[in-house]
């Protein structure tokens, strides 16, 4: 019998997770299928319990359900710290994980970059920023979190300081922070379709020793990354993050290493072909 997996969120039609995971199942000969399901926030409890009752193998969880879903699962210690989950496994009970942070870490490692001892500037203080901040702080980075609402950045930095070095500030400090940063991570939606010409940072604010990592993957070549290339900085696009966090979910569900190259090719083709 074919095992069913899926992603729940609202909206969900933009998700590339079905393309990515179905390519993985086909590559490894796993009798499974992955679908996207539109689930409104008020229906999340019914959706998760229903998926468990119907024998689903697992779910991914995306905006705006990640925080609420945490309350409905037996969450991992890291997911509890982050305050959100993006992966649910139904093998034993209803177990929740957050693979965003490890996905970002492995995306950097793919390019030979280790966060140990690095000064990392994170733009934004939302769910993805939280996951990355805890993961990178745990990995030995010093974090600077800049957000439009300064109080959110300061609050997140206080939480992260339970495991590492972190400081929060508003966006007005960006010029100085970028000069000192080794890695710049955009965890906001700025630059995402349809507003592709938006960016929080331009080339004249960057330096050639900077690594610029944009979590936005549609478009792949964001305005931020184009500005970074003008400055001679190293660039990493959001597809790497999408693929590696998905690969971690795949391993949680199947206990198998995901075919990362196959997943990446499927996503990049969907965006460009």
Instruction: Answer yes or no: 66 catalytic.
Output: yes
Q: Which of 2, 3, 52, 66 is catalytic?
A: 66
User: For residue 204, how many other CB atoms are within 10 A of its CB?
Assistant: 9
Place of tokens 């000064």: 119
Q: Using CA atoms, how far apart are residues 255 and 110, in angstroms rounded to an integer? A: 21
Largest CA distance in the chain: 57
H/E segment holding residue 60: strand 58-61
Q: In what order do the strands lie in the sheet with 32-38?
A: 32-38, 3-9, 58-61, 87-89, 95-97, 74-75
b/e 37-76 (16+ beta carbons within 10 angstroms → b): eebeeeebeebbeebeeeebbbbbbbbebbbbbbebbebb
Report the residue count for the chain: 273
Where helices occur in 185-257 by DSSP H, the ranges are 223-230, 238-254
Structure tokens at 56: 């689903």
Backbone angles phi, psi at 10, to 5 degrees: -155, 105
Active site residues: 66
């Amino acid at each position: 019998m074919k095992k069913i997996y899926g992603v729940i969120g609202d909206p969900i039609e933009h998700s590339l997770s079905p393309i990515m995971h179905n390519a993985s199942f086909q590559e490894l000969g796993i009798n499974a299928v992955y679908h996207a399901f539109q689930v409104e926030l008020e229906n999340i409890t019914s959706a998760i319990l229903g998926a468990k009752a119907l024998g689903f193998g697992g779910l991914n969880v995306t905006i705006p359900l990640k925080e609420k879903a945490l309350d409905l699962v037996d969450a991992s210690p890291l997911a509890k710290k982050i305050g959100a989950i993006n992966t649910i496994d139904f093998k034993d009970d209803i177990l929740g994980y957050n693979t965003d942070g490890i996905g970002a870490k492995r995306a950097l490692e793919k390019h030979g970059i280790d966060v140990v001892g690095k000064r990392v500037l994170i733009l934004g203080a939302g769910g993805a920023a939280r996951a990355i901040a805890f993961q990178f702080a745990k990995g030995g980075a010093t974090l600077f979190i800049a957000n439009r609402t300064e109080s959110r950045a300061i609050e997140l930095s206080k939480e992260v300081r339970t495991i590492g070095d972190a400081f929060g500030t508003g966006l007005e400090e960006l010029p100085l922070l970028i000069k000192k940063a080794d890695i710049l991570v955009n965890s906001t939606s700025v630059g995402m379709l349809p507003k592709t010409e938006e960016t929080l940072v331009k080339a004249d604010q960057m330096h050639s020793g900077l690594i610029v990592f944009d979590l936005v993957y549609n478009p792949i070549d964001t305005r931020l990354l184009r500005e970074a290339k003008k400055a001679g900085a190293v660039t990493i696009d959001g597809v790497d993050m999408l693929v590696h966090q998905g690969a971690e979910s795949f391993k949680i569900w199947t206990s198998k290493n995901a075919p990362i190259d196959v997943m990446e090719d499927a996503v990049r083709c969907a965006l460009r072909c």
